[in-house]
Amino acid sequence: MTRIAVGRDHLRHCGAAAGRPPGDISATSKETGPSVTGLAAPFRDAEPATRRADPAANRCRFRVVVVVLAAVAVAVSGCTGSPAAQDAASPAVQRAQAAVVAGLQAAGADRGPRRGPPAQRPGLIVFVAADLSDGGIAGVAQGAEQAARAIGWPLRILDGQASAEGQTAALRLALTLKPAGIILGGFDASGQQPALRQARAHGIPVVGWHAAVRPGPDPGAGLFTNVTANPAQAARLAASYVIAKSGGTASVVILTDSEYQTQRYKAGVMAATLRQCRRCSVLQVVDVPVADAQINVPAVVNSLLQTYGKRLTYLLAVDGAYIDGARVALFGAGVQGNQPPFSVAAGDGDASELERIRAGSYQQATVAEPLPLQGWQLIDEINRARAGQPPSGYTAPPHLITQADVPGSAVFDPPSGYRQNYLHIWRR
């Protein structure tokens, strides 16, 4: 396996040069309620629709998807006579098929914790985003904005603009506001220890979204808790889809960003899962800054096509932004959206990913997280910290999105009643 790196600093996404002050996206002049400006809200009115939805119809829909995929798995594993067909019946491929079926069923578990403290008194919460042009981060910020409004707290959103310098500056600004809580949205807590020690000294609880490798409390990193799907589970599910879909014959390039420990970890799990498949191969692990993906990935994919030609059958990415860049190169090379190399992501499942899957355009699947729910969980975890209670311990499962089950909404927002659940917990 070969590893290549693409330089980070010669190009910077969205003009976020070093030293540029953080963007203040959403602010309140009075700490009486959350701001709702500055962010689109594709799911803001989703809860009434969810309440009107027919639960039986939703359950039936998921059963149909699972049955269809299970039938495909049986058809693949039941063939004989060729090496590929024989591998399709191997234990590795059978495990992958079972993982895919389970991943399609995961949405029903997205309800949140069972109990918790009532809403604490209003206090300013600051959401420090790594980069609000990232669809996953923006989706979680919108969920947090909606939850803050529901619990009755003011919320301010700062944009770190895709640079470590911008994120540090935004976090410093957050501390000057003397907030009741801080959310780290999409960047590693390990790189912000001076600011987090200051937050701890002032009694300001800090929760993270994708701010550490694993979900749950991380006092060593200065986090009351970290909200994320299990990254190993998400990465394994994406790799399992590739194994199952290819019948155990995939030749894969993995796209990752080594600056983020979570992305490094996911890439490692993907590679390890693929190595369990005898006839699958990991051709390269390519290190590309995710913030520069649309700029750098087209050239990377062109190089991969020249190097491997038809040997390259799958692009497996830790973030959907890589696929957005890859399709530019694939289209320019005359590759149709439904031809190999097929793309699969284990990122967040943002709006652009769902649209590509829906259209069958250069992306077959993604492992999505329930971004709006995670925004509500972030607010709930801060409420627990402010009430002097431990973290909830809840982790939303990742969900496999394919063309068979892609939602019609802009993000994966499970119809599980989680909003009503949190309102019940908060006594709202």
Identify which of 143, 212, 206, 213 has the alpha carbon closest to the alpha carbon of residue 371.
143
Q: What one-character-per-residue DSSP string does 334-355 give?
A: T--TTSSSEEEE-S---HHHHH
Taking 70 as the threshold, does the pLDDT of residue 33 lie above it? no
Q: Which tokens go with 140? A: 């979680």
Rounded CA gap, 144 and 121, in Å? 17
Position with higher pLDDT, 104 vs 126: 126
The arithmetic mean of pLDDT across residues 242-258, rounded, is 96
Pairing between β-strand 365-368 and β-strand 399-402 as defined by DSSP bridges? antiparallel
Q: Which tokens go with 122? A: 């209003």
Rounded CA gap, 372 and 374, in Å? 5
Return the amino acid letter for 88: A
HSE-CB of 323 using CA atoms within 13 angstroms: 32
Predicted local distance difference test score (pLDDT) of residue 27: 37
Taking 90 as the threshold, does the pLDDT of residue 402 lie above it? yes
Q: Which residues, listed in sequence order, are joined to residue 314 by a DSSP beta bridge?
A: 252, 342
Predicted local distance difference test score (pLDDT) of residue 104: 86
Predicted local distance difference test score (pLDDT) of residue 107: 57
Q: What is the pTM of this model?
A: 0.78
Identify which of 88, 402, 353, 355 has the alpha carbon closest to the alpha carbon of residue 237.
402
- Where do runs of H (alpha helix) occur along 259-350? 261-275, 293-308, 321-332
Indicate the range of 50-64, 305-319, 338-352 predicted with least confidence.
50-64
What is the three-class DSSP state of 3?
Answer: strand
Provide the pLDDT confidence category of residue 408 given band limits of 50, 70 and 90.
confident
Taking 80 as the threshold, does the pLDDT of residue 32 lie above it? no
pLDDT digits (tens, 9 = 90+) for 321-363: 999 899 999 999 999 999 999 999 997 888 899 999 999 999 9
